[in-house]
Structure 1
Amino acid sequence: MEERIDELEEKLEQKDERIEELETRLRKYENPHTPPSKRRSGTDESPTSQDDEDDDVRTDGGTPGRKDGHDPEWRSTTDPDEEIEVTCDCCPECGDHFDESVGVSPRLVEEIPDPQPPEITRYNRHYYQCDSCGTETVAAHPDCPDEGQFGVNVIAQSALSRYDHRLPYRKIADRFEQLHELELSGASAWHATERAARAGRCEYEQIRREIQDADVVHIDETGIKRDGEQAWIWTFKTAQHTLYAVRESRGSDVPAEVLGEDFAGTVICDGWTAYPAFSSNLQRCWAHILREAEDAAEKQAEGEPIYHALRQVYVALQARLESDPSPRERADLQRVARRELESLIERSVPDGPVATLLGKIEGGLDHWLTFVGEPAVSPTNNAAENALREPVVLRKIIGTLRNDRGMFVHETVLSLLATWRQQGRNPYEELRRVVSSNEMLSRAHAVPAVETSG
């Protein structure tokens, strides 16, 4: 009996260790900082046990498609480029001949042209030498790039395939060969993408200047590897612009560098310590603190009334602000809400998740209610979190950035594509524009070679 007890105790100890290991791994994906859209559903039922009519139920409890009562959405149709009359002479059943049709059943079919092979042009660039000063000049053509053998369309499609379609460079090369019979290597696709980034860097800096002058900026950051070492990709987002910056630091020096140390706008952010070290004009994210409060309530009974009180404050403020109160009314709302938050902080609770939560509320007391007094400020940092989704997906694909050149290309192209989409512009046409403009600009500033005579 004692041997059996020892055996069972050993197995129980092994199971406890395994449970602890699995819970540690689970906390990486399910914690207060995990958005609701990425959390598992509350049901433990497996898909195989559900009825057929529930096959489309999403993991977050919702159902796909528009809600009941919404009008359907139809694709807009354009006028046809060509009309073809499709007729029939006889009945396919009995073979009797038709006299004439009794009506028309139209069908619009949209098709794309067959992929075209590349157009190869040889530019015989004549060069000249000045008899007076000995300067050598090479004639330029607007469609002939100053470097490389690939034109504007190849450069734009390479960058778009990498950062919009998320293709590895080897697959980009395969795509050019399959669709256009254009042979290039993965390295060539990388160099074409790098050229697109260099061409768009001036516009990247213009985006940075626009964000520096903004009244409100959403900021967030997430990890990324740089040659296998830890680095960070930061996002700075306004209503019209999105900027990404890849840095090896996660400190306050990054927003100081990007926005400028004298930035006077409001920063919407989470609770990371770099933000209060950079600016005192903050709006802390309510979505984060509410998730943390809910998590604390699940772990500790004392957290339940605190979570409901905190949520009630937020919901009441949102409802009151919908009526667009006057500045004086907003100031009164701030004072009342601050007193309610202070009353939460004063509660006596044992050490644990709830005490940690109250400490966070107290630490950000000056920054939870900025949105009440400033109508343009959002109470959540959802805009910045949404902006990081694309880099996070790319991170899963590329694994690591190799060097500074990779960081340069990554932050530049991502910023350009995100900003153009915000502004309703076509990314492909914009890439062609910046590459073409850069070619013309480089020619305008080119210094001709000078040959000195002996």
Structure 2
Amino acid sequence: MVSDKKVDQLLERITALEDRVDDLEQENEELKQENQQLRKENKRLRAKLRWYEGPHTPPSKDQANQDESSSSDGDEDDEQPRTDGGSPGRNPGHDPEWRTAPDPDREIEVTCDCCPDCGEVFDESAGVSPRLVEEIPDPQPPEVTQYNRHHYECHSCGSETVASHPDCPDEGQFGVNVIAQAALSRYDHRLPYRKIADRFEQLHGLEFTGASAWHATERAARAGRCEYERIRQHIQDAEVVHVDETGIKRDGEQAWIWTFTTEEHTLYAVRESRGSDVPAEVLGEDFAGTVICDGWRAYPAFSETLQRCWAHILREAEQAAEQQDEGEPIYRALKQLYVALQTQLESDLSLRERAELQRVARRELESLIERSVPDGPVATLLGKIEGGLDHWLTFVGEPAVSPTNNAAENALREPVVLRKLIGTLRNDRGMFVHETLLSLLATWSQQGRNLYEELKRVARDNEMISRAHAVPVVASSG
């Protein structure tokens, strides 16, 4: 038989275990409450982040991701913090880049007659250590030329002719070099007109004002307008065009700068409208290509042949998953579908195989749309997916079409930087100059051309075209 003492010990152990279970249950309940509070705080902080980080913010501007990646790369203890503001160097595994050594324009023999320590005279050199030094010449003062343009009167027809010279502009007192440098300083170096004037005076001793810099830049834009129209024609004939828009001020009022970009051409258009009339004007009513765009309603109003940007919808799905638990499986399924499509398309599929893959992917999207979710961010997300159902999978059937609109977003970066610097465009002339020069410089950069040489070329060509189309002055018979 079990003694009473042992029974009492067992009862004490049972009581202690029961007390321990009660303590653990209470601790578990406290942890649950703390967890719920932390989840609420996490949602609150994420909502606060959305004031400057939204689903339409490109990854390059996502400050949170940049902070995480910078803190997770490498061992912080092994690297000294940089104080010069420079980049940490090439990424691991990337080959270094070396500058190509230039051919010397001249050679200078650097010799020494005697030993600097004891004064012993040297007989001959024991060897040569060549060193290449690249230097730019001192800025040259402006060259002032007076063109005595002779006038002639035809005795047969009575017309009057003024002789022309290729380096003498028909208007203004500044030549093509000044025009090209002023435009480049403004739209590539991002200098204010006052600073452009200071630069000309400091480097070349040229008396120049901010107004002179503006007029020179305007002349560059007018000279390049024919080139602008040629870029527009190339884009109108393209099979695929990336389109995006962002806000800009025109005399303090809201306007929009649109970008239309292909692999070799980029066109900007500053308009007071954000509607479908702008792509209809720029691309033409009968545009037959595919437009890659975001979800702005102006695009489906303009064309039925669209590719909606997957980068946008994936960011929106991720944000919806953070806000609502029902969004997590939808975001995961959407991301898995996109990765699977990209993997499949890496192989050389025939058009028939692409069409079949497109049908399968559409059924996957339709199954997502059919899910029942409560009202909120996830329901809004599914509504967007359903609204663009005909436009998410164009890239699957057409090999030349990209699934994202990153090209247009990249093209808008330079105008956005300039927007922060200049604040607002003053009038129609400012809009004209802005869209023209931005388009020329962006296109020439895509094509690997020298921006300064191209600006000089269009300035000279414009003078020649103007003279070729000039109407002769007929002398009065009275």
TM (normalized to structure 2)?
0.86
Q: Deviation of residue 421 (structure 1)?
A: 1.1
**Aligned partners of 2:358, 2:434: CA distance in 1, in Å?**
41
User: Which residue number in structure 2 is paired with residue 53 of structure 1?
Assistant: 79
Q: Per the alignment, do residues 24 and 249 of structure 1 end up closer, same or farther by CA in structure 2, a change over 3 Å counting?
A: farther
Decide which of 448, 451, 454 is 2:475's aligned counterpart: 451
Matched letter for residue 407 of structure 1: M
1:346-357 map, 5 Å: 346-357=370-381
| 2:364 is the alignment partner of 1:327 | no
Q: Deviation of residue 69 (structure 1)?
A: 2.3
Aligned length: 431
Q: Percent identity?
A: 82
CA deviation digits over 1:81-101, x for unaligned, max 9? 111121223333444443333
User: Which residue number in structure 2 is paired with residue 359 of structure 1?
Assistant: 383
Q: Match of 1:224, SS?
A: strand
CA deviation digits over 1:264-322, x for unaligned, max 9? 10000000000000001000000001111111111111111111111100001101100
| 2:376 is the alignment partner of 1:342 | no
Q: Deviating runs (4+, > 4 A) in structure 1?
A: 20-26, 42-47
**Aligned partners of 2:367, 2:70: CA distance in 1, in Å?**
44
**Aligned partners of 1:40, 1:420: CA distance in 2, in Å?**
31
| 2:297 is the alignment partner of 1:273 | yes
CA deviation digits over 1:83-129, x for unaligned, max 9? 11212233334444433333222211000011000110001111123
**Aligned partners of 1:46, 1:271: CA distance in 2, in Å?**
31
Range with greater deviation from structure 2 (233-242 or 96-105): 96-105
Q: Deviation of residue 51 (structure 1)?
A: 4.7
User: Which residue number in structure 1 is paired with residue 246 of structure 2?
Assistant: 222
1:188-337 map, 5 Å: 188-337=212-361
Q: Per the alignment, do residues 24 and 159 of structure 1 end up closer, same or farther by CA in structure 2, a change over 3 Å counting?
A: farther
Q: Match of 1:41, SS?
A: helix
| 2:116 is the alignment partner of 1:92 | yes
Q: Deviation of residue 378 (structure 1)?
A: 0.2
Decide which of 456, 466, 471 is 1:432's aligned counterpart: 456
Q: Per the alignment, do residues 295 and 64 of structure 1 end up closer, same or farther by CA in structure 2, a change over 3 Å counting?
A: farther
Q: Per the alignment, do residues 344 and 222 of structure 1 end up closer, same or farther by CA in structure 2, a change over 3 Å counting?
A: same
Q: Per the alignment, do residues 149 and 80 of structure 1 end up closer, same or farther by CA in structure 2, a change over 3 Å counting?
A: same
Matched letter for residue 228 of structure 1: G
User: Which residue number in structure 2 is paired with residue 31 of structure 1?
Assistant: 54
**Aligned partners of 1:205, 1:278: CA distance in 2, in Å?**
21
**Aligned partners of 1:258, 1:338: CA distance in 2, in Å?**
32
Q: Per the alignment, do residues 436 and 28 of structure 1 end up closer, same or farther by CA in structure 2, a change over 3 Å counting?
A: farther
Q: Deviation of residue 427 (structure 1)?
A: 1.2
**Aligned partners of 2:70, 2:103: CA distance in 1, in Å?**
48
TM (normalized to structure 1)?
0.90
**Aligned partners of 1:276, 1:152: CA distance in 2, in Å?**
44
Range with greater deviation from structure 2 (332-341 or 263-272): 332-341
Matched letter for residue 434 of structure 1: V
User: Which residue number in structure 2 is paired with residue 397 of structure 1?
Assistant: 421
Which blocks of at least 5 consecutive residues in structure 2 are unaligned?
1-42
Q: Deviation of residue 21 (structure 1)?
A: 12
Q: Per the alignment, do residues 452 and 244 of structure 1 end up closer, same or farther by CA in structure 2, a change over 3 Å counting?
A: same
Structure number with greater Rg is 2
Matched letter for residue 55 of structure 1: P
C-alpha RMSD of the superposition: 2.4
Q: Deviation of residue 54 (structure 1)?
A: 5.6
CA deviation digits over 1:169-196, x for unaligned, max 9? 1111111111111111111111111111
